[in-house]
Amino acid sequence: MSEYEAKHRDFVDLAVPVLLSRPLTAEEFLTAHWDPGEKPPQTPDGLRELIGDKYSSRWLDLAVRLALEDLGDDLPDRRWALFHVARWHWPELFAHWRDRRNPPPPRT
């Protein structure tokens, strides 16, 4: 798999779940979507179809902001509280977000 293909796969596997984790506000939708006349989809499936399966920097930026909001101070590195730093480490940030949302079952 090429680096280009891996970037798209990682975007779909890691960023898209963050975007689908909650309803987006109209403002959030407009920051990531290029058509101001289009309304946000009413369902996660509609949003998933709209985002597609290709990397998009605008959708990625929104996903980073949502993950930072969800995680608060629970970041792998406190420097990631700055958007531009977290944006650089987006695969790790989203993996951490996913792990916090779906913790492993307790050991017995």
DSSP 79: G
What is the pTM for the complete model shown?
A: 0.89
Q: What is the mean pLDDT of the chain?
A: 91
Mean pLDDT of 85-107: 88
State both tokens at 86. Answer: 């977290």
Of the pLDDT bands very low, low, confident and very high (cuts 50, 70, 90), residue 91 is very high
Of the pLDDT bands very low, low, confident and very high (cuts 50, 70, 90), residue 95 is very high
Mean pLDDT of 53-63: 95
Those residues whose C-beta lies under 8 Å from the C-beta of residue 49, and which sit 6 or more positions away, are 41
Over the Cα atoms of the chain, what is R_g? 14
| CA gap 106, 52 in Å, rounded | 35
